[in-house]
Amino acid sequence: MSDFSERRIALVGGAGFIGHHLALKLKSLGAEVLVVDSLAVNNLYSLHREGRKNANAELYLRVIRERLDLLEESAVPLEVMDARDYGGLSQVLAGFDPDAIVHLAAVAHAGKSNKDPFSTFDHSLRTLENALDISRASKLHIR
């Protein structure tokens, strides 16, 4: 494994299943990690909106809380913000000054994606476009 002790890595959409595991691994390898996530897609807010329609809501809430607790216990900061907000994401990333940005933001459920393709596009591609444009257009030290 490469030496990550000098690396600053931002994970956009990093509070999900893959993102929190990646954040914890990078942190264990010595990287300074920042997770940026709105917690609105595939997370607490979406479960709250669905209410009692989801028979597994209690289990999902426990899993989500465990992810957030693991990030906190490992001293991985979580910036709760919507990465579709170009100005907000620019400000957060400029303040962190990452060496690398990993984009993980997406609607992870096919059923939700098929029901609302605009939202899927907005959460998946708009956030990617913002992350790419910010990394290209700003004075970040992306390597």
pTM of the model: 0.86
Give me Rg for the CA atoms of the chain.
15
> Yes or no: is domain 8-137 CATH 3.50.50.60?
no
With vertex at residue 101, the alpha carbon angle to CA 89 and CA 94, rounded to the nearest 5 degrees, is: 40
Q: What is the pLDDT of residues 54-87, one digit of tens each?
A: 667 778 778 888 999 999 999 999 999 999 999 9
User: Where in the chain are the domains?
Assistant: 8-137
Task: Return the H-helix or E-strand segment holding 24.
Answer: helix 17-28
Q: What is the pLDDT of residues 2-24, one digit of tens each?
A: 678 889 999 999 998 899 999 99
- % the chain with pLDDT above 90: 56
Q: DSSP letters of 60-89? A: HHHHHHHHHHHHHHTT--EEE--TT-HHHH
